[in-house]
Amino acid sequence: MSAQDFLVEIGTEELPPKALKKLSTAFSDGIQQGLKSANLEFTSVELFAAPRRLAVRVNQLSDTQPDNNVEKRGPAAKAAFDADGNPTRALQGFARSCGASVDQLETMETDKGAWLVYRSVQAGQKTVELLPEIVTKSLAQLPIPKRMRWGARRVEFVRPVQWVIMLSGSSVIDCEILGHKAGNQTRGHRFHCNEILTINNPSEYESTLLEKGYVIADFEARRTKVRAGVTAIAETVNGHAVIDENLLDEVTALNEWPIPLIGRFEERFLEVPAEALISSMKEHQKYFHVVDANGKMLPNFITLSNIESKDPAQVIAGNERVIRPRLADAAFFFETDKKQSLESRVELLKPIVFQKQLGSIYDKVQRTSGLAGKIAVAIDGEEQLAKRAGLLLKSDLVSEMVLEFTDLQGIMGMYYAQYDGEPEEVAIALNEQYMPRFAGDQLPSTKTGCAVAIADKLDSLVGIFGIKQPPTGTKDPFALRRSSLGILRIIVEKGLNLDLADCIEWSIAQHGELSAASPVVDKLKDTVVDYMLDRFRAWYEEEGIPAEVFLAVHARRPTRPLDFDQRIKAVNQFRQLPEAAALAASNKRVSNILSKVHANDLAATLNSDLLELDAEKELASAIAEQAQKVNPLFAAGNYSEALQSLASLRPSIDRFFDDVMVMADDEAVKINRLALLNQLRSLFLSAADISLLSS
């Protein structure tokens, strides 16, 4: 079977830069899926993406589908012919449905008797006949939130389509894609090569565009070139370019022929917080900023030009003219904001609604302040600092700077608090309130920061659950999942001995409307605790810890996240011991036995006089010895050492179940043996429900 390279290119107006990489990957994945569904063989797939094109090249794609053996089973042989050996109507109907005569059918012997079957070979279709539908289907499935139409066309796509290439080897595939007849012609750079280029063969695609068209079609190659260029040009001013990966993707998607240029702005702007300058340059102009060897910002920026100018100084000067008013605005906002203290802005939060039923942002900071104070005391922090930080928490939301640059909330609060003369820990906490902002982000560095970060998130959790608007599978407008994981991360990774149940009670108390009825409070507390503990499951899955370990610990419902984490790690270590499987099975057996016994029928203590057999005496002695040893370990949270010690019970447990009949005829003996098993199970339950490890 012969093979040809296949190339498809969709030429468009400039595609959305933030979506380009995602669109390219989805286009390639869709085509690969279509080829595999059609049983078409190929060696590899390459994807290309530039501002005005999406392309995929499939290398060594087979020319035709493999032939397909078709087998259809008809009626059983005993029902296929009448007494005279003539075909029955059932057999004749089956033959007609297959487009065959009775003589062309075969007999197949099976364990259940003989059957009539029709066998044939369906010739595979030519690949060029299948490709248009495969490409069309992939384009239809691209993740495009809102498609557009242009002119009088009914065709819809993310941007107007200008040309289409469909090449199999050197031959154009005769078809129409997105309203355009496929050809073998593409277009070069809009300015450097504003002309039509012919692609004679798929293998020539990127080299033709590169050498003649001033287009680097490969996204990753272009991205690498941008990174290298930005890094190198920063060194010309003895600086280091700070490369944000998302910005790198975006500028790569904006340029077909990226040329790095470095500009300069007045040093007076460096008096403005660096984050404000960076935000202005990055969000509005797509510039990279430059720092010195000490990480201090330099008065330079790096931009990417999509043309190789004969006079780059003019391009740089133009960019400098554009950025100057942006930075001047930031400087003006900063100076204006400093004229009013954060404390004086608290009142301005009253008209801003947090949530209709939960009041304004002002109400939220009042609640958060009180809650942060209680949390600070619980973690040996400064109550007054936490309460002060909680009060000022959202004041920067009404500052001119944050109204213009919303991503600076918290950061500007920190700077303004420092300017106001607030304690340094309070100022830092205003920035740390949002930590962690995303998965893997840094955590608060101070106890005050930890207290307000937990309090702010917990206030939202309790409030939203309290008004019965919890997140659903598709909607989480208040980002409660992220908030829950953030709280858990802070508590666990900072080693804070906080009890979620206590914290939630304190938060409910701050919500006056929620703390009126005790049954409501208890139910709300349990609901929020359970929701937060459930977030641990995904956390541990990412760490490669089996779900059964999580379930074993979760069954005990420890409400201190740090304690929960210690149990998880201990049980995961225990699971890998040679004795673990047998002990888990024994615990499950004990659990099943005890589940059939009413709690009132279990003796509170063990009567040693009723121990008759050596096996039960041995187990009772081993349990007593282990209890004395592990109970202090459990109390100290040393679950790992305690469980390893309990693993030594395996021989005694095995012998007990081999030699002892638990449900003895003598009622007193039976109750005593059940009490022994209950003691055994209680020891393990001090850490987790080990029986779930055997599921």
Query: Is the Cβ–Cβ distance between 396 and 416 less than 8 Å?
Result: yes
Tell whether 298 is covered by a domain: yes
Q: What pLDDT digit, counting tens, does each position of 408-433 carry?
A: 999 999 999 999 999 999 999 999 99
pLDDT for 667 beyond 90: no
The more confident residue out of 609 and 348 is 348
Please, which residues bridge with residue 259 across strands?
Answer: 305
- 459 and 532 share one domain: yes
3-state secondary structure of 559: coil
Q: What pLDDT digit, counting tens, does each position of 90-147 carry?
A: 878 888 888 778 777 777 877 777 877 887 776 678 989 999 999 999 999 999 988 9
* pLDDT range class, residue 517, cuts 50, 70, 90: very low
Lowest-confidence segment of 82-96, 139-153, 279-293 by average pLDDT: 82-96
- 353 and 428 share one domain: yes
pLDDT for 360 beyond 70: yes
User: What number is the average pLDDT over the span 623-639?
Assistant: 91
Tell whether 549 is covered by a domain: no
Q: What pLDDT digit, counting tens, does each position of 459-477 carry?
A: 999 999 998 898 887 888 8
- 568 and 665 share one domain: yes
Taking alpha carbons only, the member of 60, 68, 59 closest to residue 39 is 68
Tell whether 233 is covered by a domain: yes
Rounded to an integer, what distance in angstroms lies between the CA atom of residue 67 and that of residue 43? 20
In this prediction, what percent of the chain has a pLDDT beyond 90?
Answer: 70
Whole-Å CA distances, 289 to 227, 301, 442: 13, 5, 22
Give the helix ranges, DSSP H, for 511-613.
518-542, 547-554, 561-575, 580-595
Tell whether 10 is covered by a domain: yes
Tell whether 40 is covered by a domain: yes
Q: Which of 494, 512, 544 is the last residue of a domain?
A: 544
3-state secondary structure of 107: strand
- 375 and 419 share one domain: yes
pLDDT at 8: 97
Q: Which of 283, 302, 337 is the last residue of a domain?
A: 337
The more confident residue out of 528 and 100 is 528
Lowest-confidence segment of 14-28, 251-265, 320-334, 660-674 by average pLDDT: 660-674
Local structure of residue 65 (DSSP, 8 states): P
Lowest-confidence segment of 104-108, 659-663, 679-683 by average pLDDT: 104-108
- 375 and 490 share one domain: yes
User: What number is the average pLDDT over the span 579-593?
Assistant: 87
Rounded to an integer, what distance in angstroms lies between the CA atom of residue 277 and that of residue 161? 38
pLDDT at 375: 97
Lowest-confidence segment of 252-266, 546-560, 675-689 by average pLDDT: 675-689
Assigned token pair, 256 = 């077909």
Mean pLDDT of the chain: 91
- 402 and 299 share one domain: no
pLDDT at 601: 64
- 207 and 294 share one domain: no
User: What number is the average pLDDT over the span 249-257?
Assistant: 96
- 234 and 146 share one domain: no
- 436 and 528 share one domain: yes
Tell whether 509 is covered by a domain: yes
Q: Which of 315, 337, 359 is the last residue of a domain?
A: 337
Tell whether 36 is covered by a domain: yes
Q: What is the largest CA-CA distance in the chain?
A: 109
- 239 and 381 share one domain: no
Rounded to an integer, what distance in angstroms lies between the CA atom of residue 617 and that of residue 134? 73
Rounded to an integer, what distance in angstroms lies between the CA atom of residue 435 and that of residue 487? 9
Q: What is the CATH number of the domain that holds 493?
A: 1.10.3210
* pLDDT range class, residue 315, cuts 50, 70, 90: very high
Q: What are phi and psi of 552, to 5 degrees?
A: -65, -40
Judge if the upstream peptide bond of residue 436 is cis by omega within 30 degrees of 0: yes
User: Model pTM greater than 0.75?
Assistant: yes
pLDDT for 695 beyond 80: no
pLDDT at 520: 63
Query: Is the Cβ–Cβ distance between 237 and 284 less than 8 Å?
Result: no
pLDDT for 390 beyond 90: yes
Number of domains in the chain: 5
User: What number is the average pLDDT over the span 303-332?
Assistant: 94
Tell whether 180 is covered by a domain: yes
Q: What pLDDT digit, counting tens, does each position of 365-380 carry?
A: 999 999 999 999 999 9
Q: What pLDDT digit, counting tens, does each position of 204-244 carry?
A: 999 999 999 999 999 999 999 999 999 999 999 999 999 99
pLDDT for 381 beyond 50: yes
Q: What is the CATH number of the domain that holds 686?
A: 1.10.730
pLDDT for 356 beyond 50: yes
Q: What are phi and psi of 122, to 5 degrees?
A: -95, 115
pLDDT at 516: 52
- 455 and 443 share one domain: yes
Judge if the upstream peptide bond of residue 477 is cis by omega within 30 degrees of 0: no
Query: Is the Cβ–Cβ distance between 237 and 262 less than 8 Å?
Result: yes
Report which secondary-structure segment, H or E, holds 305: strand 297-305
The more confident residue out of 260 and 517 is 260
- 140 and 193 share one domain: yes
Domain extent at residue 30: 3-65+126-211
Rounded to an integer, what distance in angstroms lies between the CA atom of residue 109 and that of residue 280? 78
User: What number is the average pLDDT over the span 516-521?
Assistant: 56
pLDDT for 519 beyond 80: no
